[in-house]
Amino acid sequence: MATPLEFYKEEKLKKVKETEIGKIPKEWEVVRLEDLCERIKAGGTPSTSKREFWNGDIPFVKIEDITLAGKYLTNTKEKISKLGLENSSAWIVPENSLLLAMYGSLGEVTINKIPAATNQAILGIISSKCDVEFLYYWFLYFKPNWKRYAKPTTQANLTAEIVRNSKIPLPPLHEQRKIAHVLTTIDKAIEEVDKAIKKAERIKKGLMQELLTKGIGHKEFKDTEIGRIPKEWKVVRLGELTKVTVGYVGKINEYYTTENDGVPLLSTTNISENGIRLDEIKYVSRGFHSKNKKSQVFSGDIIIARHGMSGTATTIPEFLKEAQCLNVVIVRSSREFYSKFVEYLFNFEPTRRRLLGWKSGSVQGVVNTKVLEKFKILLPPLPEQQKIAEILSKWDRVIELKKAKKEKLERMKKKVMELLLTGKVRIK
């Protein structure tokens, strides 16, 4: 796929000028946001004790609505009445304005595609002198920098005054629109990939429901204590098939070391339904490793989260054999089951619900070895386990590739924003 910048002729920045915000093209200006806008104003919240102020027809925007919306806000979770609007400092922000969060998700921004009121944590920004899409992308790019200007309270907050006085490098209007068009093109590509990811995930979920309850090609079924399953399948306790142990439990900070000097340490934070999270791996000394063989895992073992994402399972790949485990349950690989199949089984929602019903511990809810040893699972013949796991693994790979494509597009968008919104690359 051609990148959006390939649709245009690029011109390296040659004629620049020094400004209070750095070098920008000579044709650009540095302006205060207030000078671009007809209105910049926060909203307000009607009294929650007055029922007549709520559940009306006026969309009421909170921070969570902006966070969920992305680029365009088209609906809100709550609405207020005309009476609520009149009896508060809320006001109607016209459609195609900018909404910017001052508290909580600092600098989160969206374009409202519907007239809406907002609470006091959100600024409505109305400008007819600047392209609203360009302004959206500028604030999206600038978002990480707001903390430097935020009011130093317990939680960093912006004020309307800080936002009004913020400086913006402003190209001519035609260039603003071209910049916004390029970035919108990337956003659309990301959106399409995101839809494809969600579709693939729905297909996989449907296949799990079919394959992990009905199997492949079965016509006769039987009722069991864990549901209706194919006649050829068995119901067994996990402890009958394999050894269930727990990884190291205790303080481990003194044993941390670097990748070059140690062995990988896997904990709950490394477990996901999509395999081991490699970005979260820590390392412990080889001395610790040699003293704690019981918490060592091998290729094909399954580790299960004891708390947090309780019950989530993942299989140990070959390159992590002999890794150490911290505070997770280890299900040792067995000749009687195919590890990847059992992983899918534990990550199957009905299995998870049954397991969490057995979960012990009153505070965190910890899954322990005794629970898992007695836990009943369905067990197809080994060849069928392998076939089911193979089918689901194909969809995992499809999802993984699409997610990698999305990440690549997001990295590209970040770089293109930096180049275009600062004028380092111009669009003819």
CA distance 24 to 39: 27
**Shared-domain flag, residues 210 and 132:** no
Contact between 46 and 88 (Cβ < 8 Å):
yes
Nearest of 338, 323, 324 to residue 242 by alpha carbon: 338
Q: Mean pLDDT for the chain? A: 91
**Shared-domain flag, residues 270 and 362:** yes
**Shared-domain flag, residues 53 and 150:** yes
What are the percentages of helix, strand and coil residues in the chain, rounded to 5? 40, 25, 35
**Shared-domain flag, residues 121 and 53:** yes
CA distance 358 to 351: 11
Classify residue 418: in a domain, yes or no.
Answer: yes
Classify residue 18: in a domain, yes or no.
Answer: no
pTM given for the model:
0.84
pLDDT at 309: 66
pLDDT (tens digit per residue) in 16-70: 999 999 999 999 999 999 999 999 999 999 999 999 999 999 999 999 999 999 9
Write down the residue that tokens 């307000």 correspond to: 44
pLDDT at 3: 47
Please work out, in degrees rounded to the nearest 5, the angle formed at the alpha carbon of residue 308 by the alpha carbons of 303 and 312: 35
Contact between 208 and 201 (Cβ < 8 Å):
no
DSSP tally for the chain: helices H, then strands E: 13, 28
Q: Give the CATH number, domain containing residue 344.
A: 3.90.220.20
Number of domains making up the chain: 3
Torsion angle in degrees (nearest 10) through CA of 254, 260, 264, 267 = 50
Q: Give the CATH number, domain containing residue 188.
A: 1.10.287.1120
pLDDT at 359: 57
What φ, ψ does residue 154 adopt, rounded to 5°?
-55, -45
Helix axis angle, 339-346 to 349-358, nearest 10° = 70
CA distance 362 to 413: 45
**Shared-domain flag, residues 45 and 123:** yes
Q: What is the DSSP-derived secondary structure letter of residue 296?
A: B
Helix, strand or coil, per DSSP, at residue 241? helix
| Chain mean position to CA 137 | 20
**Shared-domain flag, residues 1 and 34:** no
Helix, strand or coil, per DSSP, at residue 276? strand
**Shared-domain flag, residues 255 and 143:** no
Torsion angle in degrees (nearest 10) through CA of 15, 3, 408, 181 = 70
**Shared-domain flag, residues 393 and 281:** no
pLDDT (tens digit per residue) in 99-158: 999 988 899 999 999 999 999 999 999 999 999 999 999 999 999 999 888 777 656 789
**Shared-domain flag, residues 244 and 370:** yes
Q: How confident is the model at residue 365 (pLDDT cuts 50, 70, 90)?
A: low
Helix (H) or strand (E) holding 99: strand 97-101
Helix, strand or coil, per DSSP, at residue 192? helix
Classify residue 225: in a domain, yes or no.
Answer: no
User: Which of residues 170, 198, 224 is at a domain's end?
Assistant: 170
Structure tokens at 134: 């360009």
| Chain mean position to CA 328 | 23
Q: What is the DSSP-derived secondary structure letter of residue 348?
A: S
Classify residue 78: in a domain, yes or no.
Answer: yes
Structure tokens at 362: 């009153």
Please give the residue range of the domain that contains residue 363: 234-379
**Shared-domain flag, residues 350 and 388:** no
**Shared-domain flag, residues 240 and 360:** yes
CA distance 337 to 324: 23
Classify residue 223: in a domain, yes or no.
Answer: no
Classify residue 96: in a domain, yes or no.
Answer: yes
**Shared-domain flag, residues 3 and 63:** no
Nearest of 356, 310, 303 to residue 329 by alpha carbon: 303
C-alpha dihedral sign at 161, 162, 167, 171: negative
Classify residue 292: in a domain, yes or no.
Answer: yes
Classify residue 278: in a domain, yes or no.
Answer: yes
pLDDT at 273: 83
pLDDT (tens digit per residue) in 65-96: 999 999 999 999 999 999 999 999 999 999 99
